[in-house]
Amino acid sequence: MSPSDRMPDIPVDRLTDAQKAAAAAFRTARGVPVFGPFVPLLRSPELMTNASTMGLHLRYRSVLPLHLSELAILITAREWTQQLEWHIHAPIAVEAGLDPDIVAAIREGRRPDTMGSAEALVHAFSTELHRNKAVSDTTYARVVEAFGEQGAVELAGINGYYTLLAMSMNVARTALPDGAQPPLPPLIR
């Protein structure tokens, strides 16, 4: 636990019945104990359970291929300078097939020089959504053409969901694993 971590793991003997039930359901659904962003969310057991369910859908049942959803997650982590979100998802993104040069550019806060058309669409949609709080008609039409309306809704959902997690971890000052250095430099625009 980091000294600045405002909402560290709750000792088992201090969990409420609702928190115990939510933690058990989380372990059953995900095969691991409550971790990362779900540690602060456990303070609201029903919110944590619902967030976990939404996350499982967005990560594993979205119409978007995994490398594209991971790109949106990295853009979100970069926009919020969320160190743990980046720490967890950058390796997953590369393993899913996202070019390490794209990951490096996002980490540095710049538009990647070389992206495929699908990656460029996800990048445009996600950065417009975060920075403009909206998506242009042109970008929306291109995303719907490429991924359908379901893809557009799920891409907005991925950005929103990981923003929720980033906000929660930033409020809680969720710590990186022991020995891990913050992977994201300050964002300068």
Place of tokens 């160190």: 83
pLDDT digits (tens, 9 = 90+) for 161-171: 999 999 999 99
Confidence of residue 187 (pLDDT cuts 50, 70, 90): confident
pLDDT at 72: 98
Mean local confidence (pLDDT), 100-116: 97
Residue 40 has pLDDT above 50, yes or no: yes
Residues found in the chain: 189
Dihedral sign of CA atoms 148, 149, 150, 151 in order: positive
pLDDT digits (tens, 9 = 90+) for 62-81: 999 999 999 999 999 999 99
pLDDT digits (tens, 9 = 90+) for 119-151: 999 999 999 999 999 999 999 999 999 999 999
Confidence of residue 47 (pLDDT cuts 50, 70, 90): very high
State how far the Cα of 143 lies from the Cα of 155, in Å rounded to an integer.
9
- Number of Cβ atoms within 10 Å of the Cβ of 131: 10
pTM: 0.95
State how far the Cα of 104 lies from the Cα of 106, in Å rounded to an integer.
6
pLDDT at 3: 55
- Number of Cβ atoms within 10 Å of the Cβ of 135: 21
- Average model confidence (pLDDT) across the chain: 96
Smallest Cα–Cα separation from 59: which of 176, 155, 150, 123? Answer: 155
- Number of Cβ atoms within 10 Å of the Cβ of 152: 22
Question: Which letter, b or e, does each residue of 91-102 get, where b requires 16 or more Cβ atoms within 10 Å of its Cβ?
Answer: ebbeeeebbeeb
Residue 1 has pLDDT above 50, yes or no: no
Smallest Cα–Cα separation from 22: which of 54, 58, 49, 61? Answer: 49
- Number of Cβ atoms within 10 Å of the Cβ of 65: 15
181: region left, alpha or beta (phi > 0 left; psi from -120 to 50 alpha): beta
